[in-house]
Amino acid sequence: MALPDPQMKKRVFVVDDHAVVREGLTLLINREPDFVVCGEAQGSEEALKAIARLRPDILVVDISLNGPDGLDLIKTVRASDDGPPVLVLSMHDELIYAERALRAGASGYIMKQEGTECVLIALRRILKGEVYVSNRAASRMLRRYVRGFDATTQPIEAELSDRELEVYRLIGHGRGTRQIADELHLSVKTVETYQSHIKEKLCLRSARELVQHAIEWNLNHVKG
């Protein structure tokens, strides 16, 4: 059997803040006859520069990145008319993030605890123009479509905007206000405003309660 022409392989770009994950994905994807990893990055800014240069066919992106998170990266990439499709591969609970990722412009969402074969299936489906999510996420979205929005079945954190959730996640990782501001390229005052909104929406009375809840939320909603 003739080997596939390397020029015909779909070029995949991997964005994840953990080197071991990037290496594992590269090994997995490069074993396939129809794929090749053309580049990788650990953060959004690095990724955007490389994507513009390499022009991959598809991206695999984590939510947690160095600097602005994966949702910000997806929105920026998909804002371009020729931006490649995106598959999100993350430890973060799909009940919180799957719909957000799709709204941001992603074409699929997989949790890292899923089997590696799911990544390959998702890549191929997305490149055919399909959307890929787990059966659990698909069923939940379908129920919401048929029955309408039901706030009683939603995690309370679903009330947060994408940016508020990003700040909340970073608080749960032990980042201080100045660190969050620097990492997200925001002013300290802006971050403090987001923190105030988060406390109000989650009915938290103090900065200490906010930190405690954010840490607990990270522990409970990051899988794997």
Summarised one tens digit per residue, pLDDT across range 96-138 is: 888 899 999 999 999 988 878 899 999 999 999 999 988 777 7
- CA-to-CA distance for 183 and 10, rounded, in angstroms? 32
Q: Hey, what domains does the chain have and what are their CATH numbers?
A: 6-143 (3.40.50.2300), 155-221 (1.10.10.10)
pLDDT at 1: 43
Task: Give 148's pLDDT tier (boundaries 50, 70, 90).
Answer: low
Q: At what angle do helices 44-54 and 70-78 cross, to 10 degrees?
A: 30
- Mean pLDDT across the chain, nearest whole number? 87
> What contacts 116, CB < 8 A, 6 or more positions away?
28
Strand partners, 11: 36
Report the relative pairing of strands 10-15 and 58-61 from DSSP bridges.
parallel
Higher pLDDT, 92 or 180: 180
* Cα angle 118, 154, 17; round to 5: 45
pLDDT digit string, tens, across residues 31-89: 999 999 999 999 999 999 999 999 999 999 999 898 889 999 999 999 988 899 999 99
| Residues recorded for the chain | 224
**Residue 12: pLDDT over 90:** yes
Report the predicted TM-score, pTM, of the whole model to 2 decimal places: 0.79
Residue 58 has φ and ψ, to the nearest 5°, of -160, 150
Dihedrals φ, ψ of 207, to 5°?
Answer: -65, -35
Report angle CA 18, 79, 121 to the nearest 5 degrees: 50
Report the C-alpha gap between 98 and 78 in whole angstroms: 16
